[in-house]
Amino acid sequence: MTCKGYLKVLVLGDTCPPKTNTQLYKIPLIIIPSLITILYIIITPVSCLPQKIDQGWYVKVKWVIDGDTFVLKNNDILRLKGIDAPELGHEKGERDQYYAIQAKNKLKELVYKKYVIIKKYGLQRDRFNRLLAYVYLPDGRFLNLLMIKEGYAFFFPHKDLEYKMARKFLAAQRTAMAQRRGFWNHILSMDIAQRPYIGDKKSRRFHTLNCVFGKKIYWKYKVKFSSLYEAFYKGFSPGRKCTPWPYVSR
């Protein structure tokens, strides 16, 4: 609104998210064109860009892709390091793995359009140029660990995973398995859960006995498991091919 050559403007706090305190300013109409130009140039406030904090960054989440991956406000794709959630069938005709939708919904509940803290420790990019990171919620909860604890994701070992994190994730998985949290109640009750599996000590992946990839494991790295429970308990994750993880129709 205007009053005797002035424009009254209500200005929100300039933090992200904005603070609730506001201020009312009177601005001479003669300088409005200049202000519009400035606002056009500074279309994204500095405070809304990734903010560097102690040992990491404070960033807003734009979108959630699945139970272990989301998109940041600057369009970087971030994969939660050291965990793997059931896969969604992203392509037409592909089926979802069991509990994939529940895992995505849980992650969405926790981070969608909210701020997270990306730790500098262990931060890297994978071959798809995605960020691999340890992420914390503003209330201090460790997101990667939380998804394992509640049975929405399992421990995903790989060569670049820090040893202390691997131990922490595996311990959380063992507890979730024992308590049948999330997907574990169904996964460990399936008939195929009682079958033997073969693992690769080098890649830390396991396969069904008739899987071509399992048969190619070098004898030195080959290890046998009496059940699905033992394979997961020992810190192995299912291979992408020949996985025992069930698929469901939408």
User: Could you read off the pLDDT of 175-196 as tens digits, one per residue?
Assistant: 999 999 999 999 999 999 999 9
Q: Are residues 136 and 208 in the same domain?
A: no
pLDDT of 30: 53
Q: Which of 189, 211, 234 is the last residue of a domain?
A: 189
Q: Are residues 81 and 175 in the same domain?
A: yes
> What residue numbers bound the domain in which 200 lies?
192-250
Q: Are residues 160 and 118 in the same domain?
A: yes
Q: What are the C-alpha distances in Å from 233 to residues 129, 177, 192?
A: 30, 8, 16
pLDDT of 227: 98
pLDDT over threshold 80, residue 206: yes
CB 206 within 8 A of CB 181: no
- Give 248's strand partners: 96
Number of domains forming the structure of the chain: 3
pLDDT over threshold 80, residue 151: yes
pLDDT of 81: 98
- Residue 19: band (very low, low, confident or very high) from pLDDT cuts 50, 70, 90: very low
Q: Which of 30, 48, 66 is the last residue of a domain?
A: 48
Condensed to tens digits (0 to 9), the pLDDT of residues 210-249 reads 999 999 999 999 999 999 999 999 999 999 989 999 999 8
pLDDT over threshold 70, residue 18: no
Q: Are residues 158 and 223 in the same domain?
A: no
pLDDT of 28: 54
Q: Are residues 60 and 180 in the same domain?
A: yes
Q: Are residues 130 and 152 in the same domain?
A: yes
Structure-token pair, residue 189: 């009750």
Average pLDDT, the chain: 85
Bond before 17 cis per omega within 30 degrees: yes
Q: What φ, ψ does residue 149 adopt, rounded to 5°?
A: -55, -40
Structure-token pair, residue 51: 């903010």
pLDDT over threshold 80, residue 203: yes
Q: Are residues 96 and 159 in the same domain?
A: yes
pLDDT of 91: 78
Q: Are residues 27 and 110 in the same domain?
A: no
Condensed to tens digits (0 to 9), the pLDDT of residues 76-122 reads 999 999 999 999 997 777 899 999 999 999 999 999 999 999 999 99
Alpha carbon of residue 51 to chain centroid: 19
pLDDT of 55: 82
pLDDT of 92: 77
